[in-house]
């Protein structure tokens, strides 16, 4: 009889504990781990580099989005499993203007104030087989004109006024992505280590220096 009493007690307590996990399971069910291509989603400037650390630091208060002047910061509202309620920037819709407001307002460690040059949302990469000037389909240079960081981030190829080339001062704000007129978006933000700039050596050196 004693064993039976113990077993029913153990069974009941397991049931109670499982019942207490139900709200969390319910919330998890409603934010399934499916999302659009994450390549399209950059973390806001000043974010912790390690995305797991970012997720554990972010409390999902939405303050960064609420101060963003161009309203570029959006949120995983009902997808992405544990990414849910964390912010992202989709530069094809609206790109970051590097105003630093989100970094200043964030109460947690997830976004911390850092100098503009050290922001690292990624690095722009140009598909030279699609970009209009690179395939000799016309003159453009929109990305170079719009870049908030100027010469050190993006410029023209040597002795050419139209073919854009990304330099290692690029912080990945994505203004060039937003402005690019080509429908297939030949310019895109990639992780700093994997861009062509990095492959050519400049970006890699930049990383070592930091």
Percent helix, strand, coil in the chain (nearest 5)? 40, 10, 50
In the DSSP assignment, the letter for residue 109 is S
Reported as half-sphere exposure (CB side, CA atoms, 13 A), residue 184 has a value of 8
Nearer of residues 88 and 132 to another protein, judged by Cβ: 88
Minimum CB separation from another protein for residue 108, in Å? 5
11 binding another protein? (CB under 8 A): no
30 alpha carbon, distance to own chain's centre: 23
Nearer of residues 78 and 205 to another protein, judged by Cβ: 78
Q: Which two tokens mark 35?
A: 């999302």
Distance CA 110, CA 103 (A): 9
Which one of 60-68, 129-137, 180-188, 193-201 is the stretch in contact with another protein (CB under 8 A)?
60-68
Which one of 105-113, 154-162, 164-172, 182-190 is the stretch in contact with another protein (CB under 8 A)?
105-113
Distance CA 53, CA 113 (A): 16
53 binding another protein? (CB under 8 A): yes
User: Which member of 10, 109, 118, 157 binds another protein (CB under 8 A)?
Assistant: 109
37 binding another protein? (CB under 8 A): no
Q: Which two tokens mark 112?
A: 């911390």
Is the distance from CB of 129 to CB of 179 less than 8 angstroms? no
Is the distance from CB of 73 to CB of 87 less than 8 angstroms? yes
Is the distance from CB of 113 to CB of 196 less than 8 angstroms? no
114 binding another protein? (CB under 8 A): no
16 binding another protein? (CB under 8 A): yes
Site string for another protein, 65-104 (x = CB under 8 A): xxxxxxx--xxxxxx--xxxx-------x-------x---
10 binding another protein? (CB under 8 A): no
Is the distance from CB of 76 to CB of 35 less than 8 angstroms? yes
Minimum CB separation from another protein for residue 21, in Å? 5
Enumerate binding residues for another protein (CB under 8 A).
Answer: 16-17, 19-21, 23-24, 26-28, 30-31, 36, 52-53, 55-63, 65-71, 74-79, 82-85, 93, 101, 105, 107-109
């Amino acid at each position: 009889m004693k064993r039976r009493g113990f077993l029913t007690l153990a069974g009941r307590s397991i049931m109670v504990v499982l019942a207490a996990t139900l709200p969390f399971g319910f919330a998890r069910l409603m934010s399934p781990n499916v999302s659009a291509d994450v390549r399209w989603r950059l973390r806001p400037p000043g974010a912790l580099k390690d995305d797991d650390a970012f997720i554990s630091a972010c409390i999902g208060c939405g303050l960064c989005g609420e101060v963003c002047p161009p309203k570029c910061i959006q949120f995983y509202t009902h997808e992405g499993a544990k990414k849910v309620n964390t912010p992202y920037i989709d530069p094809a819709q609206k790109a970051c203007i590097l105003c630093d407001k989100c970094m200043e307002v964030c109460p947690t460690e997830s976004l911390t104030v850092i100098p503009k040059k050290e922001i690292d949302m990624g690095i722009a990469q140009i598909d030279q087989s699609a970009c209009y000037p690179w395939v000799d389909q016309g003159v453009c240079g929109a990305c170079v004109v719009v870049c908030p960081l100027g010469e050190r981030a993006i410029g023209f190829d040597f002795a050419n006024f139209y073919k854009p080339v990304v330099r290692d001062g690029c912080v990945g704000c994505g203004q060039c992505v937003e402005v690019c007129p080509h429908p297939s978006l030949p310019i895109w933000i990639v992780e700093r280590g994997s861009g062509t700039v990095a492959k050519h050596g400049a970006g890699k050196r930049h990383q070592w220096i930091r």
